């Protein structure tokens, strides 16, 4: 009897030990997850800053599955709104990782997260594995669910660049998706979105820019028909300042862009310079004050100052998951151009287009 009691006590103690171990392990895992996300939030801003969030949510995909991870990411971006100016970039990389699951569930997913970053990334990765024809057929209606299809179509253009098609082939594919929306009221915004995405997608790779001057990039845009040419040309100007090692190199590129627009004036050329400033001095690398200084320095040298300011503000707001509040602070940090900055900002909607979507979670 005594021996039985000994076994019973030992059994209870063992059960308690196992239970405690499980609880502590679960607590440790939970705390580890929270710690990882906290590390991302408090990380020093730099070129690798977005990668912390990408790694965090990739690990969550493995632990909790695609739907939970994407819903958690959506909720987090809604809550934080910005992720310090890197939201769109982070979402791009997540979309590239999750592309198969994403496209299989495309009719159930809110596409607006981080200014359409996830769907853009999914398009990009799909283009690497599908033939151009299959790609167009599969994705031509993927933006139908979007409250703003033109921004969604922009990702289609990005993907065409990743598929390494020629500008002429890109023109044909953009025509296919454009024709899908030709009877819609918003069609006027669609054609330039696809060609702009294509040129930006090319410039996502530093090696593409190594042997290109702005004139060559501009000439390649002439493969697009009239409606799409402007989007491509604006993106060429915008992306020309990327991947510069220091302020002197950026200064030379930006001055070249300004002179180019003076000699080759086309609609939105100076808006491309403003957007390029946001690329050269991205929000997750520089302070609002620094970006305001750069806007004032370079936009004041253009032929259309307000258009340049509008380009920077619009790109900042788009790329930062609608950081309108920060754009407003940027205007307040300017001096000579403050009134023009406020005027340009007044023409941009102050509420996020993300709120237009009624789809929040994957069911």
Question: Which tens digits make up the pLDDT trace of 40-81?
Answer: 887 777 767 788 888 999 898 889 988 888 888 888 887 776
Query: Does 261 fall in a domain?
Result: yes
Q: What is the number of domains present in the chain?
A: 1
The encoded tokens of residue 104 equal 């299989």
Please compute Rg for the chain using Cα positions.
24
Distances (CA, A) of 225 to 57, 217, 260, 352: 40, 16, 22, 32
Whether the Cβ atoms of residue 280 and residue 237 lie closer than 8 Å to each other:
no
pTM of the model: 0.74
Query: Does 68 fall in a domain?
Result: no
Nearest Cα residue to 293 out of 336, 261, 348: 336
Question: Residue 292: which domain range?
Answer: 253-355
- Classify the C-alpha dihedral 286-289-290-291 as positive or negative: positive
Distances (CA, A) of 148 to 111, 145, 153: 9, 9, 9
Residues 6+ apart with CB under 8 A from 216: none
Model pLDDT, residue 119: 86
Model pLDDT, residue 354: 46
Query: Does 321 fall in a domain?
Result: yes
Whether the Cβ atoms of residue 163 and residue 201 lie closer than 8 Å to each other:
no
Whether the Cβ atoms of residue 341 and residue 288 lie closer than 8 Å to each other:
no
Query: Does 284 fall in a domain?
Result: yes
Query: Does 318 fall in a domain?
Result: yes
Mean pLDDT across the chain, nearest whole number?
Answer: 80
Quote the CA–CA distance of 12 and 1 in Å, as a whole number: 17
Q: Which residues of the chain have pLDDT under 50?
A: 1-32, 354-360
Quote the CA–CA distance of 95 and 70 in Å, as a whole number: 10
Query: Does 222 fall in a domain?
Result: no
Burial 76-96, CB ≥16 within 10 A → b, else e: bbeeebbbbbbbbbbbbbbbb
Quote the CA–CA distance of 40 and 53 in Å, as a whole number: 6
Whether the Cβ atoms of residue 94 and residue 73 lie closer than 8 Å to each other:
yes
What letter does residue 189 receive in the DSSP assignment?
A: G
Model pLDDT, residue 37: 82
Model pLDDT, residue 352: 52
Query: Does 334 fall in a domain?
Result: yes
């Amino acid at each position: 009897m005594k021996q039985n009691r000994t076994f019973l006590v030992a059994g209870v103690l063992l059960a308690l030990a196992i239970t405690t171990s499980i609880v502590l392990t679960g607590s440790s895992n939970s705390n580890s997850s929270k710690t990882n996300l906290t590390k991302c939030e408090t990380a020093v801003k730099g070129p690798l800053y977005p990668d912390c969030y990408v790694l965090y949510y990739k690990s969550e995909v493995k632990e909790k599955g695609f739907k939970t991870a994407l819903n958690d990411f959506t909720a987090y971006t809604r809550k934080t709104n910005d992720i310090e100016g890197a939201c769109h970039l982070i979402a791009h990389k997540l979309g590239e990782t999750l592309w198969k699951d994403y496209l299989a569930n495309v009719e159930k997913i809110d596409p607006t997260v981080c200014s359409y970053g996830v769907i853009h990334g999914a398009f990009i990765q799909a283009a690497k594995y599908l033939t151009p024809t299959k790609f167009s057929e599969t994705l031509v209606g993927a933006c139908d669910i979007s409250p703003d299809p033109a921004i969604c179509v922009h990702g289609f253009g990005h993907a065409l660049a990743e598929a390494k098609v020629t500008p002429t082939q890109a023109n044909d594919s953009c025509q296919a998706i454009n024709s899908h929306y030709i009877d819609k009221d918003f069609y006027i915004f669609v054609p330039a979105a696809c060609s702009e995405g294509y040129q930006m997608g090319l410039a996502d790779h530093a090696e593409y820019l190594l042997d290109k001057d702005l004139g060559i990039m501009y000439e390649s845009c002439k493969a697009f028909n009239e409606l799409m040419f402007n989007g491509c040309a604006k993106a060429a100007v915008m992306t020309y300042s990327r991947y510069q090692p220091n302020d002197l190199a950026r200064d030379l590129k930006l001055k070249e862009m300004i002179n180019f627009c003076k000699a080759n004036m086309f609609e939105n050329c100076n808006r491309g310079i403003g957007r390029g400033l946001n690329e050269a001095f991205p929000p997750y690398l520089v302070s609002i004050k620094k970006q305001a200084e750069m806007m004032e320095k370079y936009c004041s040298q253009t032929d259309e100052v307000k258009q340049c300011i509008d380009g920077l503000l619009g790109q900042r707001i788009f790329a930062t998951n609608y950081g309108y509040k920060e754009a407003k602070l940027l205007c307040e940090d300017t001096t000579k151009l403050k009134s023009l900055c406020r005027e340009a900002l007044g023409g941009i909607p102050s509420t996020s287009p993300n709120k237009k979507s009624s789809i929040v979670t994957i069911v």
